[in-house]
């Protein structure tokens, strides 16, 4: 393919991006530089990727986010994918980048991800990690689930004297509970609170807090994020280990599903289920009760 004749390749620093995946509106931190690379034909973007270069000369798509990776036109060709990778590799080397890491989104967010992963492998990327994501897919499935389970859920809440709350983010006090509860369980709390506060301020409509209460005290929280307008991401769930009962986790997740149904999303992303780079068997079994689709997410890396 003669890229010079047919296509235009551009790298832009601090780009202004309008994209359904709002986290591409990235706020650079200290020592970071944010870029977008895109391949266009007749002014139409065929493939694009955003990435951050740190002081360590590692480029990453995308830090502090569930995923980054390549985004492509619906009818993208393999030649276009190869071309943008070849051009991008040349530019990254000129910029002194030593390592390029890509956390490619799943097929639910980018329908060409299987093709993109295939081409990445052919272009020298090494697969570093696979994460299993559980999804509830299809509005009818989600609505049917809520209708079928709502009566039992209501009885359980009454028996346990639980109350539930679903709201926008008004304060960030809930993060103290999440951090404490996750610490008590020995789980990581890898969250840039400063970045989260900035994102909520910029995109308040994308964030929802789901809580389970007992005796006027929070028992469980989940931060839910509309990563794209048609999706809901079950993010940063935590339950008080001292007060948890057998139904607490189910109560929390049911409210998340009901939120997704009320928002009219096409799918709910229940996230990955790792525990220190090992399968979290209990969590996988729990999510299997809800999910109707399981998809792998691939983390890639290439050295220059």
CA distance 215 to 217: 5
What's the predicted TM-score (pTM) here?
0.94
CA distance 233 to 152: 24
Contact status, residue 117 vs residue 104, Cβ threshold 8 Å? yes
pLDDT digits (tens, 9 = 90+) for 251-269: 999 999 999 999 999 999 9
Q: Which fold has domain 139-265?
A: Aminopeptidase (3.40.630)
Q: What percent of the chain has pLDDT over 90?
A: 87
Q: Is the previous residue joined to 8 through a cis bond, with omega within 30 degrees of 0?
A: no
Q: Is the pLDDT of residue 30 over 60?
A: yes
Average pLDDT over residues 191-214: 95
Residue 1 — pLDDT band, cuts 50, 70, 90?
A: very low
Of 11-15, 35-39, 41-45, 56-60, least confident by mean pLDDT is 41-45
Q: Is the pLDDT of residue 189 over 90?
A: no
pLDDT digits (tens, 9 = 90+) for 124-158: 999 999 999 999 999 999 999 999 999 999 999 99
CA distance 265 to 221: 21
CA 153 to chain centre: 28
What's the CATH superfamily of 3-131+298-303? Gcn5-related N-acetyltransferase (GNAT) (3.40.630.30)
Nearest CA to 283 out of 267, 272, 296 is that of: 272
- Residue 67 makes CB contacts below 8 A (sequence gap 6+) with 103, 104, 105, 106, 109, 297
CA distance 159 to 173: 28
Retrieve residue 196's tokens. Answer: 């989260």
Average pLDDT over residues 108-119: 98
At 2 the three-state DSSP class reads: coil
- Residue 143 makes CB contacts below 8 A (sequence gap 6+) with 261
CA distance 113 to 119: 10
Q: Is the pLDDT of residue 44 over 70?
A: yes
How many CB atoms lie under 10 A from the CB of residue 95?
13
Higher pLDDT, 256 or 2: 256
* Positions of CATH 3.40.630.30 in the chain: 3-131+298-303, 139-265
CA distance 197 to 192: 9
């Amino acid at each position: 393919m003669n890229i010079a004749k047919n296509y235009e390749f551009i790298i832009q620093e601090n780009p202004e991006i309008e994209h359904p995946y709002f986290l591409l509106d990235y706020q650079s931190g200290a020592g970071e530089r944010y870029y977008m690379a895109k391949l266009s034909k007749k002014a139409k973007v065929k493939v694009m990727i955003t990435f951050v270069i740190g002081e360590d000369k590692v480029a990453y798509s995308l830090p502090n986010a569930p995923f980054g990776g390549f985004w492509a036109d619906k009818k993208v060709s393999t030649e276009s994918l190869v071309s943008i990778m070849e051009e991008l590799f040349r530019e990254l080397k000129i910029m002194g980048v030593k390592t390029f890491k890509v956390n490619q989104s799943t097929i639910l967010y980018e329908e060409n991800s299987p093709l993109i992963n295939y081409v990445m492998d052919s272009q020298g990327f090494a697969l570093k990690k696979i994460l299993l994501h559980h999804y509830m897919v299809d509005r009818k499935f989600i609505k049917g689930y809520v209708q079928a389970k709502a009566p039992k859920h209501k009885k359980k809440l009454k028996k346990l004297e639980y109350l539930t709350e679903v709201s926008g983010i008004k304060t960030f006090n809930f993060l103290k509970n999440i951090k404490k509860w996750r610490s008590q369980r020995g789980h990581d709390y890898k969250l840039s609170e400063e970045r989260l506060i900035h994102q909520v301020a910029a995109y308040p409509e994308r964030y929802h807090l789901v809580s389970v209460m007992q005796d006027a005290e929070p028992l469980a929280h989940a931060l839910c994020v509309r990563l794209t307008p048609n999706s809901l991401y079950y993010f940063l769930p935590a339950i008080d280990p001292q007060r948890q009962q057998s139904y607490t986790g189910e109560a929390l997740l049911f409210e998340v599903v009901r939120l997704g149904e009320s928002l009219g999303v096409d799918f709910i992303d229940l996230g990955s289920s790792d525990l220190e780079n090992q399968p979290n068997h209990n969590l996988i079994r729990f999510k299997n009760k809800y999910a109707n689709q399981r998809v792998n997410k691939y983390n890639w890396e290439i050295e220059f």
